[in-house]
Amino acid sequence: MAGTLIMGVGERSGKQRVRVGVDVGGTFTDIVLQTESGTLHSSKVLTTYHAPEQGVVYSIEQVSRTSGVELGDVNQVIHGTTLATNALIERRGAKTALVTTAGFRDVIETRTESRFEQYDLNIVLPDPLIARRDRFVISERLNARGEVLIDFDDDAARAVIERIGVAGYESVAVGFLHSYRNGMHERRFRSLLKKELSGVAVSISSEVSPQMREYERFNTVCANAYVQPLMASYLLRLRDQLKGIGVGCPLYLIHSGGGLMSVETAAEFPVRLIESGPAGGAIFAADLAARYGLDRVLSYDMGGTTAKIALIEDYVPRTAKVFEVDRRSRFKKGSGMPISIPVIEMIEIGAGGGSIVQVDSLGQIRVGPHSSGSDPGPAAYARGGDDATVTDANLLLGRLHPDTFGAKDILLNPQLAGEAIAAGVGGPLGLDNAAAAVGIVEVVDENMTNAARVHAVEGGRDLSGFSMIAFGGGAPLHASRLIDKLGLDELIVPSGAGVGSAIGFLRAPFSYEAIRSFYTTTADFDYLGANALLAELTAEAESFVRVGLADDRAHEASSVEPAISVERQVSMRYAGQGWEIPVSLDEGEFDEFAAELLAAKFTKSYLEFFGRAIDQLNIEAVSWAVRVSSVEEPAALVELSRIGNRVAPEQTRQMYDPTSSGSVEAGLFPRSRLKPADLVVGPALIFEPQTTTVLGAQHACVVQSDGSLLIRRVQVPR
Amino acid sequence: MNTSARQTTDLHNQVMWNRLIAVVEEQAATLVRTAFSTSVREAGDLSAGIFDVHGRMIAQAVTGTPGHVNTMAAAVRHFINDIGPERIYEGDVYITNDPWKGTGHLHDITVATPVFYNSAHVGFFASTAHVVDIGGRGYGPEAREVYEEGIRIPILKWAERGKLNRDLVAVISQNVREPDQVVGDIFGLAACNETGRRRLCAMFDEFGLKDLERLAEFVFARTRKATLDALRSVPPGTYHNKMTVDGYDHTLTLSVRVTVTANGMHADFSGTSPLSKFGVNVPLTYAEAYFTYGMLVALAPELPNNFASLEPFTVSAPPGVILNAKHPNPVAVRHVIGHFVTDLCLGAIASALPERIPAEGSGALWNFQASARSADPQNLKPPVELLMFNSGGGGARPHLDGLTATAFPSGVRTMSVEATEQVGPIIIWRKEIRGDSGGVGRQRGGLGQVIEVGPTDGYLFEFSAMFDRVENPARGRQGGQPGAPGAVYLDDGTPFPTKGKETVPAERRLILELPGGGGFGDPSQRDPAATENDLLQGYVSAANRSG
């Protein structure tokens, strides 16, 4: 796809640095270049799967040509990628061994001892990342306070190291019980291994993920070790090749928590790159939320395979300390691999343009989770796919059209779409194609709506009062219907929606979140321990951020000391509960009276979450986190305008409208010709190269000064 | 209505049905977030559902334990009867923990909330959760009558017209050991019903509904047809099975006769051993839940639970058998025997479905339940209650090996060793796969696990043992061999009783070898590659290789 100029989105006052964001996804490599004036130029090329750095280099050269910016003038390249995720999912990592405490060889295999699907006798649990024969044990043991119960046995360790050498393992994961409290034995093993075997990569759990709960921590260190050789090699190749074409500026990586980190850190902790692409999308939405002053935003990103929903409050995406990658079964909780690292919290469901539609034994329409992907793609793509998909339904309903579908290399074929829907849905249900297509779209919209609601309630939130920001190729087609179903008042479809993640990369601060488990209670508060731990976490996080900033500053010969912010948080719960809620800490150290203050803070947060607190129960503090980030220049506030001058369409087309329960005449508007303050009244379709925005009969849209579309309901749907 | 209009209405109904399921999932998620009870959050020992005005369940959240499948489904009709339809007001909240009207023991509290829309009564939300304490002797099998097991709350109004029944709150608070948590959980149940109520009213606004009647009929008609279609895979007739398990005070025979007709399946438990003196007895409603779960998981796993999917399944049992406990029989730990009902009933229809029914599994959980007490009476330390859920191996499936160390039919999750050691004076020295414990067969039974555990910091354990399948291992099917039986002993080799209250002295370790699942099919037909892998991974030792 050729380079595209994106209106408005990047503009900040004054001269900007030239920055490039690159998102290497499974199908496409998206690139965005921000010029000195703040203008954004974007491009989308196919990912060069076997040597992804080539696609990156090619796309940077391409966007340099279209923008007229010299490669040597680029100040910063920011990169996010699904490569680490894909290596895990496709099991393409290194030959890896796990070394663990004697008695705990099978922690990653016995998982939670439960079935993620209650109603399936033939359930297959995912294979552990590292097979049992590749798991070795060592005699050693710490207790929950980090004290030694069984000494580390050097001779036994050397014997294991010898076996590791003989068997030719490329990478070793080390995970010992309670190492989040005391990493001494893990470090001891690493130093012995380094001494005996050169060229073998080693990851230790007390560094990769110092969080309590062995199943999650061991999995995380295994995942890190497994992808580490591959990712380190890729990152170094990428850096060299960029230098080779004259891009000598620093290269940074986006991490799953939504901040920047150095290539060196990424090469050491590649597990932190997992979900970096979707994290970029959430930062994109958070940055827009800040620009518009929207303090409660639901970020909705829909692509070809999945839809991702994240909540953004006070311009910050919610974060979590653990997530699951590679959910094998219908994105079901528990069917994947838990990874305990700081991550932007989102829910991902199998609802995309390519999601395949089927009819189940109840005669009900089911959408996803399988996707036709980009190859063969929906039936309408005429590339050999014959499964009915969401895109095919949107085509039959008049929301997509061959004349206005952006991708130039794809000619949509309504006849093929119709045949696929007739065969897959219409026939089995005795419906005509129009009714079948209506059903498909209603079901996928309901799936997304329900996922959003449950995600909100799991975070203790009610969605009323939230605004939606929709991006990704599929979201603007469905978003106006979703706000109706969710009862939200307004929706923004920003410029550059098709490359949102890559734009998000440019908005990310340098940041690092250090997390460690440390158990104490308000009844018996170890304030000295807590102070020491917080100081350690702050130093650790700050050093990562300072290194990144120093590097960046050196390149620009700037003498200004950049500002950083430090946020400290503790996760607490009532004794006996299984869920912790985050409590933000004030500045300063704890003293002997701190327990009471902490209890009061917890009670207040608990009330906010659940509307009811409980007296006289002991409160436990479980894990502690410090996030250090560079302070970015705040985005200039864009006043959202809700009134405009109505523009008439030059053309119209028949489109199905769910609230009218029938076909309506929709105005057609090329987005490139809309100007700020234009008012488009639905039913209407606003099309652009990477997506189409649907307005129902009860929606109206005002074009904002930065080119965003603000869509609101003008009358309450029945 | 013409065909096309009817189809459009059907689509509309389908969307609303999905919405109802989402509403009850949200109701359940609200409850999990706030629950104090370990078994609610770790085992999903809760349920949530929506009912029509007649008390027929329209949708139920998919949660961890099948034990509530149709126990709660039946409960709402008891609420309607006992409260009286004329006394149902807007703003009411009802409560009970009656084992025979609720879910089988006093520890489960069920709360039902009537829903009104534009002042008309349109349905109910109900939810159930296992609470941390209910008074009496505390959780265990030691009581001889249900009176000793805790406070029994008849069907009462927790709130009337929005006004809380403070007398009832006071009575409950005074009769349980952890009043804040128990009353907290009851408020949590009421709150999750309230979440459901608000969502339902919003849905009525959105879809222009006035009541649930037509939607309920649509759901029931669709489900009834699909359920009866699914039942047709079992030829009409009568199917028998018997299973011997260790029991608590004596060996038990569980016996079932499953009768299949065009209209449903009926399980009769005649021939089952008599009641126990201890609280391992099972109310029939609980046995029914595990029978129905077994049939649905085998025949119609994709069907959502509702009145019509449960209606074709009925049970009966003569008085006095352990699967038909009546008031005032003690029933506190009814799951220990109740969980075997699923394998018992699956075994009955196995001859009709040779390609679908797995071999027997380890069945009942091997929960580690202990009070840590000071070992030195001169140096008193506060007691600490400890609880860990542990699972043995599952039965081999006709085309797949059994699941290793995985609960079935329960949906329990185990707890983290590190988190457990944070809570109390316990060291778990070992928790790993028990090689050679799966029954051999064309498909191997799931492996059990070995757990080595002891007190620390000057404590000892007062230990409540309830371990089954020590005398009677899980049987194989179609030539598959039985799984290994369980074993319990101290680290010096002293055998340790598998039932009753026992002490693990300070500085000693208790070793639990959890049973494996039965094998499926002729062992000589096992795929050589699978045998090879078993040896390579150490699932099977060379001495025990099959084929």
By the CB < 8 Å criterion, does A464 face chain B?
no
Distance from the Cα of B359 to chain A's closest Cα (Å) equals 11
Q: For residue B70, is pLDDT > 90? A: no
Domain presence at residue B443: yes
Cα(B262)–Cα(B284) distance, rounded to whole angstroms?
Answer: 24
A711 contacts A700 by C-beta, under 8 angstroms: yes
CA atoms within 13 A on the CB side of B528: 0
Distance from the Cα of B254 to chain A's closest Cα (Å) equals 22
Domain presence at residue B74: yes
Buried-state track B186-208, b at ≥16 Cβ within 10 A, e below 16: bbbbbbbbbbbbebbbbbbeeee
**Residue B278 carries which side chain, given as an amino acid letter?**
F
Cα(A513)–Cα(B519) distance, rounded to whole angstroms?
Answer: 48
Domain presence at residue B518: yes
Q: Which chain A residues touch B7 with a CB distance below 8 Å?
A: 429-431, 435
Over residues A194-214, the pLDDT tens digits come to 999 989 999 999 999 988 899
Domain presence at residue B279: no
Residue contact B537–A213, C-beta within 8 A? no
Q: Which two tokens stand for residue B130?
A: 């296992």
Cα(B402)–Cα(B425) distance, rounded to whole angstroms?
Answer: 34
Which of A117-126, A608-617, B259-268, B328-337 is the least confident region? A608-617
Task: For residue B199, give the nearest of A711, A462, A611, A636 by alpha carbon.
Answer: A462
Pairing of strands A678-681, A645-646: parallel
Q: For residue A7, is pLDDT > 60? A: no
Residue where a domain stops, chosen among B196, B224, B252: B224
Pairing of strands A511-521, A581-584: unpaired
By the CB < 8 Å criterion, does B253 face chain A?
no
Residue contact A113–B391, C-beta within 8 A? yes
CATH of domain A93-214: 3.40.50
By the CB < 8 Å criterion, does B208 face chain A?
yes
- A-facing residues of B in 333-372 (CB < 8 A) are 356-358
Q: ipTM score of the complex? A: 0.92
User: Span B54-81, mean pLDDT?
Assistant: 87
Test the B interface: residue of A105, A111, A114 with most B CBs within 10 Å: A114
Mean pLDDT of the residues in chain A = 88
Indicate yes or no: pTM above 0.80: yes
- Predicted local confidence at residue A1, as pLDDT: 42
Q: Which of A213, A360, A453 sits opposite B419 (nearest CB)?
A: A213
Domain that holds residue B163: 3-224
Residue contact A443–B430, C-beta within 8 A? no
Please indicate whether residue A560 or residue A593 has the higher confidence score (pLDDT): A593
Q: How confident is the model at residue B412 (pLDDT cuts 50, 70, 90)?
A: confident
A335 contacts A292 by C-beta, under 8 angstroms: no
- A-facing residues of B in 283-322 (CB < 8 A) are 296-298, 300-303
Q: How confident is the model at residue A409 (pLDDT cuts 50, 70, 90)?
A: low
- Predicted local confidence at residue A11, as pLDDT: 46
Distance from the Cα of B223 to chain A's closest Cα (Å) equals 7
Q: For residue A595, is pLDDT > 60? A: yes
By the CB < 8 Å criterion, does A150 face chain B?
no
Residues 6+ apart with CB under 8 A from A587: none
Q: Which of A104, A450, A610 sits opposite B431 (nearest CB)?
A: A104
Q: Which two tokens stand for residue A431?
A: 């419906």
Instruction: Delimit the domains of chain A by residue range.
Output: 93-214, 355-442, 511-630
Residue contact A143–B456, C-beta within 8 A? yes
For residue A18, what is the DSSP state? Answer: P
Residue contact A119–B536, C-beta within 8 A? no
Please report the number of interchain residue pairs, chain A to chain B, with beta-carbon separation below 8 angstroms: 213
Q: For residue A484, is pLDDT > 60? A: yes
Residue where a domain stops, chosen among B168, B197, B224: B224
Distance from the Cα of B401 to chain A's closest Cα (Å) equals 9
Cα(B457)–Cα(A260) distance, rounded to whole angstroms?
Answer: 45
Q: How confident is the model at residue A397 (pLDDT cuts 50, 70, 90)?
A: very high
Test the A interface: residue of B65, B418, B514 with most A CBs within 10 Å: B418
- Predicted local confidence at residue A60, as pLDDT: 93
Task: Specify the DSSP element, H or E, that contains A688.
Answer: strand A684-688
Q: Is A368 left (phi over 0), alpha (psi -120 to 50) or beta?
A: left
Task: For residue B358, give the nearest of B286, B411, B300, B409 by alpha carbon.
Answer: B409
Mean pLDDT of the residues in chain B = 92
Quick one: what percent of chain B has pLDDT higher than 70?
97
Residue contact A446–B62, C-beta within 8 A? no
Residue of A nearest to B397 (CA): A122
Q: For residue B157, is pLDDT > 90? A: yes
Beta strands per DSSP E along A455-548: 467-471, 490-493, 511-521
Over residues B295-334, the pLDDT tens digits come to 999 999 888 899 999 999 999 999 999 999 999 999 999 9
Size (chain B), residues: 547
**Residue B203 carries which side chain, given as an amino acid letter?**
M
Domain presence at residue B326: no
Domain presence at residue B541: yes
Residue contact B422–A449, C-beta within 8 A? no
Q: How many domains does chain B have?
A: 2
Quick one: what percent of chain A has pLDDT higher than 70?
92
- Predicted local confidence at residue B438, as pLDDT: 97
Domain presence at residue B544: yes
Q: Check whether residue B54 and residue B203 sit in a common domain.
A: yes
**Residue A326 carries which side chain, given as an amino acid letter?**
D
Q: Which chain B residues touch A450 with a CB distance below 8 Å?
A: 18-19, 21-22, 25
- Predicted local confidence at residue A558, as pLDDT: 56
Domain presence at residue B112: yes
Cα(A512)–Cα(A546) distance, rounded to whole angstroms?
Answer: 10
Residue of B nearest to A102 (CA): B430
Residue where a domain stops, chosen among B224, B247, B266: B224
Residue contact B429–A141, C-beta within 8 A? yes
Test the B interface: residue of A101, A107, A116, A118 with most B CBs within 10 Å: A118
